[in-house]
């Protein structure tokens, strides 16, 4: 075994050598991808599209860095199993950076379609830049073997299972059956398409953007590219919103000219959707900073809403409400296809903590309703504790509330996304041929008296 090496500083500091290298060598985007992956896997830090080192890259390098990091996190189980097959003993914790360099290089080789020579040469350069020259031989050997045999080795892996943390696999199997859990996990393995919500003239924008018009009314575009460079972005003709994320607000029915309270509103996808449909929206969020994003987003698309920075569990409207949307904070396990870091970061304890907040927010939202008022509760989670179990508990506590079942006609004909109780339950494996959709749960309740 080689001699121990001194502790290195954090990867982000260390990567500056590589990040400063000319982009033509391709080191800069890989150095950023490396730091994103190390941040998620070792420091519990979420993948953040607004991080300064990512934003400092030219748009193409930025997209490349993001796709390397996302592919690594999507396929982390498979990648680690492949690396383990190529080393005599586990890579020690003090060489974590070499392990992470291998991870992003294997992702490039097998899942991003980067030529082997580029993936190997840049990986060797990165371990050198991180002060680990003695590990270049190991990195080189593992990657040369995987460049030759990696595809065949990956083809016999149980990819969906390996890439899904045990606790999520168990909970989805219990909730939806093992075949559906497998289909959900399989849907997480590929980059999802870009979904947009348009203010008006969806067919016209579909043509201009080369996008499909979805039965839910939004657009779907395949093929990537920088969002800010697409036609219509600058003039605010549309905003990014997954097809499933557009469904909960639709459950409020016709909102033109009506007051809607949008609780937990930031960054404002549903606020824009409701304001665009003609509602007078009061958007409440606990975070002033995130409300700033709502303001920015509304400004870009030329819409307006009243913004309130407050804890929705304590805030009350001036008069009893007719329409309330509560898009509660949750584990976001329904968004893993767009945010693959979620399945690496979230733990069962997060579910336990969040259900308490969800109960408080639900009780508060229900208390805002006047007689006949309607509440839509939504979470972008696949965990039943955060969805149907919260609604069952609320209905048991509040006899004045009753469920108003969802109908397929309200949600673009998605009959398969309606539960026996009449709630909305989309899964990442729905619309598999079209590229899937996020996993959302929503229930609609009415206050009878
Ligand atoms: C799932 S996101 C909402 C997404 C948003 N509805 C949209 O469509 O863009 C959850 C939001 O809840 C907010 N939040 C968390 N706890 C809250 C509370 N007690 N009161 C109000 N907002 C809260 C968070 O700041 C976060 O912005």
What CA–CA distance (Å, rounded) separates 277 from 360? 29
The confidence score (pLDDT) of residue 13 equals 25
Q: What kind of architecture, by CATH, is found in domain 241-447?
A: 3-Layer(aba) Sandwich (3.40)
pLDDT bin (cut points 50, 70, 90) of residue 10 is: very low
- Other CB atoms closer than 10 Å to residue 45's CB: what's the count? 15
Please, is 102 exposed, middle or buried when counting C-beta atoms within 10 Å of its C-beta (0-12, 13-18, 19+)? buried
Mean pLDDT within 13-41? 70
Q: Is the pLDDT of residue 17 over 80?
A: no
Residue with CA nearest ligand 1 atom 12: 264
Q: How close is the Cα of 76 to the center of ligand 1, in Å?
A: 29
Q: Do domains 11-157 and 241-447 have the same CATH topology?
A: no
pLDDT bin (cut points 50, 70, 90) of residue 25 is: low
How far is CA 144 from its chain centroid?
33
Three-class SS of residue 157? coil
Q: How close is the Cα of 286 to the center of ligand 1, in Å?
A: 7
Q: What percent of the chain has pLDDT over 70?
A: 94
Catalytic residue ranges: 380
pLDDT bin (cut points 50, 70, 90) of residue 1 is: very low
Q: What are the two backbone dihedrals, phi and then psi, of residue 344, each rounded to the nearest 5 degrees?
A: -90, -25
Q: Quote the mean pLDDT of the chain.
A: 93
CA-311 nearest atom, ligand 1: 20
pLDDT bin (cut points 50, 70, 90) of residue 352 is: very high
Q: How close is the Cα of 169 to the center of ligand 1, in Å?
A: 27
The answer to which of 23-32, 75-84, 130-139 has the lowest mean pLDDT is 23-32
CA-329 nearest atom, ligand 1: 10
pLDDT tens by residue, 150-188: 999 999 999 999 999 999 999 999 999 999 999 999 999
The confidence score (pLDDT) of residue 59 equals 85
- For 68, the token pair is 């390397």
What CA–CA distance (Å, rounded) separates 281 from 272? 9
pTM flag (> 0.85)? yes
**Ligand 1 binding site (Cβ under 6 Å of any ligand atom):** 264-270, 284-287, 290, 311-313, 327, 329, 361
CA-266 nearest atom, ligand 1: 27
pLDDT bin (cut points 50, 70, 90) of residue 3 is: very low
Q: Is the pLDDT of residue 19 over 60?
A: no
Q: 218 and 197 in contact (C-beta within 8 Å)?
A: yes
- For 187, the token pair is 């849907």
Which CATH number describes the domain made up of 11-157? Answer: 1.10.940.10
Q: How close is the Cα of 46 to the center of ligand 1, in Å?
A: 17
What CA–CA distance (Å, rounded) separates 67 from 61? 10
- Out of 49-63, 215-229, 253-267, the most confident range is 253-267
- Name the residue of 270, 285, 311, 438 whose CB sits within 8 Å of the most ligand 1 atoms, as the mutation to test its pocket: 285
- Name the residue of 266, 300, 339 whose CB sits within 8 Å of the most ligand 1 atoms, as the mutation to test its pocket: 266
Residue with tokens 């606790």: 167
Q: Is the pLDDT of residue 7 over 60?
A: no
Q: 329 and 377 in contact (C-beta within 8 Å)?
A: no
Q: Which residues contact 226 (CB under 8 A, 6 or more apart)?
A: 59, 62, 63
Domain extents in the chain: 11-157, 241-447
Q: Is the pLDDT of residue 295 over 90?
A: yes
Q: Which residues contact 253 (CB under 8 A, 6 or more apart)?
A: 374, 410
Q: Is the pLDDT of residue 21 over 70?
A: no
- Other CB atoms closer than 10 Å to residue 131's CB: what's the count? 15
CA-361 nearest atom, ligand 1: 19
What CA–CA distance (Å, rounded) separates 383 from 441? 9
- Name the residue of 286, 293, 310 whose CB sits within 8 Å of the most ligand 1 atoms, as the mutation to test its pocket: 286
CA-267 nearest atom, ligand 1: 9
Provide DSSP, 47-94: P-TT-HHHHTS-HHHHHHHHHHHHHHHHTHHHHHHHHHHHSSSPPPGG
Q: For 434, which DSSP code?
A: G
Provide DSSP, 315-362: ---SS-EEEEEEE-----GGGTTT-TTHHHH--HHHHHHHHHHHHHHH
Please, is 118 exposed, middle or buried when counting C-beta atoms within 10 Å of its C-beta (0-12, 13-18, 19+)? middle
Residue with CA nearest ligand 1 atom 14: 264
pLDDT tens by residue, 183-231: 999 999 989 999 999 999 999 999 999 999 999 999 999 987 778 889 9
The confidence score (pLDDT) of residue 132 equals 94
Q: How close is the Cα of 339 to the center of ligand 1, in Å?
A: 17
């Amino acid at each position: 075994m080689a001699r121990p090496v001194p502790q290195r500083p954090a990867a982000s500091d260390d990567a500056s050598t590589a990040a400063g290298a000319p982009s033509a060598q391709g080191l800069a985007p890989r150095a950023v991808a490396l730091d994103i992956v190390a941040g998620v896997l070792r420091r519990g830090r979420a993948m953040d599209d607004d991080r300064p080192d990512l934003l400092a890259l030219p748009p193409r390098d930025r997209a490349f860095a993001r796709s390397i990091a996302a592919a690594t996190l999507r396929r982390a189980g498979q990648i680690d199993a492949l690396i383990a097959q190529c080393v005599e003993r586990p890579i020690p914790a003090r060489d974590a950076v070499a392990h992470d360099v291998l991870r992003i290089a294997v992702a490039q080789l097998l899942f991003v379609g980067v030529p082997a020579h580029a993936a190997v040469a840049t990986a060797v350069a990165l371990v050198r830049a991180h002060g680990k020259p003695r590990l270049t031989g190991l990195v080189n050997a593992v990657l040369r073997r995987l460049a030759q045999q990696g595809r065949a080795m990956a083809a016999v892996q149980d990819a969906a299972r390996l890439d899904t943390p045990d606790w999520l696999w168990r909970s989805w199997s219990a909730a939806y059956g093992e075949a559906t859990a497998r289909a959900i996990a399989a849907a997480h393995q590929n980059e999802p398409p870009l979904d947009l919500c348009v203010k008006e003239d969806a067919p016209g924008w579909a043509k201009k953007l080369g996008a499909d018009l979805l039965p839910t009314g939004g657009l779907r575009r395949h093929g990537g590219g920088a969002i800010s460079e697409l036609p219509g972005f600058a003039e605010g003709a549309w905003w990014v919103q997954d097809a499933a994320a557009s469904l909960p607000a639709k459950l409020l029915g016709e909102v033109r000219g009506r007051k809607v309270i949008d609780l937990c509103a930031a960054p404002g996808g549903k606020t824009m959707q409701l304001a665009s449909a003609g509602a007078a929206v009061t958007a409440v969020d606990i975070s002033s900073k995130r409300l700033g994003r709502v303001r920015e987003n509304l400004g870009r698309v030329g819409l307006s809403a009243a913004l309130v920075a407050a804890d929705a569990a304590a805030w009350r409207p001036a008069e009893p409400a007719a329409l309330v949307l509560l898009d509660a904070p949750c584990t976001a396990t329904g968004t893993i296809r767009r945010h693959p870091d979620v399945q690496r970061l979230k733990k069962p304890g997060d579910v336990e903590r969040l259900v308490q907040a969800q109960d408080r927010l639900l009780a508060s939202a229900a208390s805002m309703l006047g007689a006949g008022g309607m509440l839509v509760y939504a979470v972008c989670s696949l965990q039943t504790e955060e969805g149907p179990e919260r609604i069952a508990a609320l209905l048991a506590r509040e006899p004045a509330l009753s469920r108003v079942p969802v109908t397929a006609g309200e949600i673009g004909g998605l009959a398969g996304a309606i539960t026996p109780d009449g709630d909305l339950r989309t899964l990442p494996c729905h619309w598999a041929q079209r590229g899937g959709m996020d996993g959302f749960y929503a229930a609609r309740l009415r206050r009878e008296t």
